[in-house]
Structure 1
Amino acid sequence: MRIETMGDVVTWSSGFHSNLADFIEASVAQSKDERLKMLSSYIADHERQLAKTIAAFEVVESDNALGTWCTEFLNKQPLPDTAIKDERWAHFSANELMDEVRGIHQQLMALFSHLLSRSAATPAADMLEQLLDVEEHQLMLMAHSANRLEDL
């Protein structure tokens, strides 16, 4: 997908989270670690919910915000390819899985922060702040729940 406007960022982000959910479940499916499978299912559910939340921005945001141009996007830190499963994820511990997911979300938050710094005086600034807040909140929820799972 070619990213040119903030609307493209929203569409791409929603699709990325949906694909990430499928990727995590497929990649961990062969694991013999039941705790890892539970955690991956939980994370995948959060990713799908996050995809729906982000997709809603396309409906509620103004055309001015969504139409704001941004040509600089995924440059130096490409996110993982979620098109095919990664067999090594099936051998992760729950902590390693959470570390990978945390790293991906931190990359997305860095991206949104970067775009926000470049669009401070545009209609897209509020939307980017909200996207950043949603990412941060969901990451905190997932991390908290992963810690509770470890306590079991």
Structure 2
Amino acid sequence: MEIKTFFDLIEWSRSLHAQLAQCLSHCAKLHHEERTAMLLEYLASCETAMEKMVAGFEHQADPKAAKTYVYDYIPHNPIKTHLDCDDHYAKMDADAISAEVIDFHEQVIELYRTLLRKAEIPEAAELMQLLLDMEENETKLLVRQLGRMDDL
């Protein structure tokens, strides 16, 4: 997907969370370790929830911000993660899966921070701040929950 506007960015971000959720859920059914399969299902549910949160921004974003162009500020491949669902996660252990999912979120956070710094109109800055706050808060919650799972 080519990202030209903030609306495109929101749709692209929503789509990334949806793809990751679908892949995690698919791999949960294939994983031979029950604990890791449960982790994959949990992560898939978190990604689905984040997809819905990001989708909400498509409807509530200020039209002026949503139509603002961002393509000059986004690297050609802004997020590096495994998005092809080829049973990738079914072959990994719980720690590696957790690390890769957290890394994905950290890349999204860094992209949002970069775009926030470069926002030229207040409406775009506000939109990026809201997206950044949501992503940071949900990632912190996810990290805490993953830590609790390790305690079990």
Do these two structures clear the TM 0.5 threshold for a shared fold by scoring above it?
yes
| Alignment correspondent of 1:23 | 23
Aligned equivalents of 2:17, 2:40: Cα separation in 1:
14
| Alignment correspondent of 1:147 | 147
- Structure 1 residue 37, shift from structure 2 partner: 0.9
Aligned equivalents of 1:76, 1:67: Cα separation in 2:
21
| Alignment correspondent of 2:46 | 46
TM-score (norm 2): 0.90
The answer on whether the counterparts of 1:23 and 1:85 sit within 8 Å (CA) in structure 2 is yes
The answer on whether the counterparts of 1:28 and 1:87 sit within 8 Å (CA) in structure 2 is no
Size of the alignment, in residue pairs? 151
| Alignment correspondent of 1:75 | 76
| Alignment correspondent of 1:63 | 63
Are the structure 2 counterparts of residues 85 and 128 from structure 1 closer, same or farther at C-alpha, using a change threshold of 3 Å?
A: same
Any stretches of 5+ residues in structure 1 without a counterpart?
none
Runs of 4+ in 1 over 3 A off after TM superposition: none
- Structure 1 residue 77, shift from structure 2 partner: 4.6
1:66-105 alignment to 2 at 5 Å? Answer: 66-71=66-71, 72-82=73-83, 84-105=84-105
| Alignment correspondent of 1:119 | 119
Question: What value does the CA root-mean-square deviation take over the aligned residues?
Answer: 1.6
Map Cα deviations across residues 57-78 of structure 1 (whole Å, 9 max, x no partner): 1111110110111113242554
Are the structure 2 counterparts of residues 14 and 77 from structure 1 closer, same or farther at C-alpha, using a change threshold of 3 Å?
A: closer
- Structure 1 residue 107, shift from structure 2 partner: 0.7
Aligned equivalents of 2:41, 2:127: Cα separation in 1:
29
- Structure 1 residue 9, shift from structure 2 partner: 0.4
The answer on whether the counterparts of 1:21 and 1:44 sit within 8 Å (CA) in structure 2 is yes
**Identity value in percent:** 28
Aligned equivalents of 1:43, 1:3: Cα separation in 2:
26
The answer on whether the counterparts of 1:68 and 1:123 sit within 8 Å (CA) in structure 2 is no
What letter matches 1:90 in structure 2? Answer: A
Any stretches of 5+ residues in structure 2 without a counterpart?
none
